[in-house]
Amino acid sequence: MPGHAEAGRKGEDVRSDLHVNVQLRKSGGRTVDVESKVATYYGQSITATVEGVLDALAVRHARVGVDDTGALPFVIAARVETALRRAGVTSDGDARPTRTCVPLAPQRDRPRRSRLYLPGNEPKFFVNAGLHRPDAVILDLEDSVHPDEKDAARLVVRNALRCVDFGDAERMVRINQLPVGFDDLEAVVPEAPHVVLVPKAERTEDVRAVHERILDIQRRVGSDTAIWLMPILETALGVEHAFAIATAADTVVALTVGLEDYTADLGVTKTAEGSESLYARMRLVNAAKAAHVQAIDSVFGDVGDMEGIAAWARRSHALGFEGMGCIHPRQIGPIHDAFAPSTEEIEKALRVVAAFDDAQAKGLGVVSLGTRMIDPPVVRRAQRVVAAARQAGLIADTGAAGSKG
């Protein structure tokens, strides 16, 4: 039927989402029918949100049916806009919800120990994600989103970047492979995510194309907020090009690896201890360090295996990675523990930093600790350890190392 479309979800298991049914028409004005399990509390608000999107996209004649299971306003707006777009509304009106959340300033070298994957079309998981204190959240538009729902997820993620408070977490978006990824960038770049993850990066061109499109969109919308890139190496070729990819653009801040696709590309089975991917991971670590970007590990897939993830994360830290992905908030704690510096490391680092500060204060060019001279790289490393320890809450702002816990 021309001018008819649906979006969103309904059904027994659906919570905090909605289903929208739109029929555009030539005349007859607008009718909006809202069924909601929270109608007692927010019935008027839901109708107002729907009307607001219709106004913004200049839809004057339509029948709109909403079946709501307690969706938040940013989700309602995204679903309604998706249905209208699918029905053929082409207005370039701005239907974005009012921005209620100001993100933290971008920071190139911040800790990225944990990044929590959030499926882009599952907004009910967004709103409390920051409470679990990951270093970053990833709003995923790629593998966790069904190909038929890419348009819907894009608008949900765009609206979430405006409205959801992710706390201190860095806001990352994983786009699709190009060219679909270009559409993702058009939607999300104006909302200034901190990091864009570039999937299946194999060549420098893959990264440069994303980098240039970001700059292009930013020029159009008049933004100069830095957006960092984290390419994901997921193929044998990508791993071969690790250093070139890490240096493909000056906005690359980290390299990471996708082991599901990588092991598939190699034709081997992915195991819990990971020896089949050791070469790729070490190659990545070396390339990242050579390029002065962070080396970030893949995810650990078994949510129920808390000892497994702790062991993986400890090994990963020992190999030189600075963080890894997580697919469940309960994985964040073990990851932060594993990537946190040990008490001995912290104490040594504090002594080095103190010696450096002392030398600076005295105007000395040479830093020494006891009878030993300290090289500048050792000082930089110590400063990073102290910063990481502070981030992990292992030292007070001015105090010495305390015990963990």
Partner 1 sequence: MPAARLLKNALGRRVPSVVNGREQVPFQGVGVSRPAGSKHGPPIRSSDDFPADGNKCVTDLATALERCGLRDGMVISTHHHFRNGDKIALQALEAAAQLGVNDLMWFPSASFPCHAPVIDLMDRGVVHHIEGSMNGPLGEYCSHGKMRGLGVLRSHGGRWQAIQDGEVKIDVAVIAAPTADAFGNCDGSHGPSACGSLGFALADSIYADHVIVVTDNLVPFPCVPWQIQGNNVDCVVQVDSVGDPSQIVSGTTQITRSPDRLLIAEYVARFLRDAGIMRQGFSFQAGAGGVALAFVQFLKDMMKEDGVRARFVRGGSTQYLVELLREGLTDYILDGQTFDLAGVASIASDPRHVGTSPFTSYNYHGKGNFATMVDATVLGATEVDVQFNANVVTHSDGVLLHGIGGWQNCLFAECTILAIPSFRDRIPVIVDDVTTITGPSELIDVIVTERGIAINPRRQDLLDRLSGSSLPIRPIEQIKEEVEGILGGPPQRPQLTDEPVAVVKWVDGTVLDTVWKIAT
The site for partner 1 (CB under 8 A) is made up of 15-16, 37-38, 40-45, 49, 69-73, 100, 127-128, 131-132, 165, 328-330, 393, 405
Q: Nearer to partner 1 by C-beta: 101 or 364?
A: 101
**By the 8 A CB rule, do 201 and 176 touch?**
no
Smallest gap from residue 87 Cβ to partner 1 (A)? 25
Smallest gap from residue 69 Cβ to partner 1 (A)? 7
Which amino acid does the sequence have at 114?
S
- CB burial string 62-79: b at 16+ within 10 A, e below: bbbbbbbbbbbbbbbbbb
Smallest gap from residue 224 Cβ to partner 1 (A)? 29
Q: Nearer to partner 1 by C-beta: 175 or 326?
A: 326
CA 166 to chain centre: 10
Q: Nearer to partner 1 by C-beta: 37 or 372?
A: 37
> Tokens at residue 70, please?
């307690």
Smallest gap from residue 312 Cβ to partner 1 (A)? 19
Helix/strand/coil for 203: coil
Q: Is the dihedral of CA 207, 210, 212, 215 positive or negative?
A: negative
Which amino acid does the sequence have at 398?
T
Main-chain phi, psi angles of 115, to 5 degrees? -130, 120
Q: Nearer to partner 1 by C-beta: 65 or 70?
A: 70
From residue 174, alpha-carbon distances to 132, 138, 186, 210, 356 in Å are 20, 7, 13, 12, 40
3-state DSSP: the chain helix, strand, coil percent, rounded to 5?
45, 20, 35
Q: Nearer to partner 1 by C-beta: 41 or 279?
A: 41
Q: Nearer to partner 1 by C-beta: 43 or 320?
A: 43
Smallest gap from residue 77 Cβ to partner 1 (A)? 10
Give ∠ CA 53-56-61 in degrees, rounded to 5: 75
The Cα 260–Cα 43 span in angstroms is 44
Please give the DSSP secondary-structure letter assigned to residue 31.
Answer: E
Please list the residues that pair with 232 across neighbouring strands.
256
> Tokens at residue 20, please?
């929208």
Smallest gap from residue 323 Cβ to partner 1 (A)? 19
Smallest gap from residue 333 Cβ to partner 1 (A)? 9
Q: Nearer to partner 1 by C-beta: 45 or 223?
A: 45
Smallest gap from residue 68 Cβ to partner 1 (A)? 8
Q: Nearer to partner 1 by C-beta: 20 or 382?
A: 20
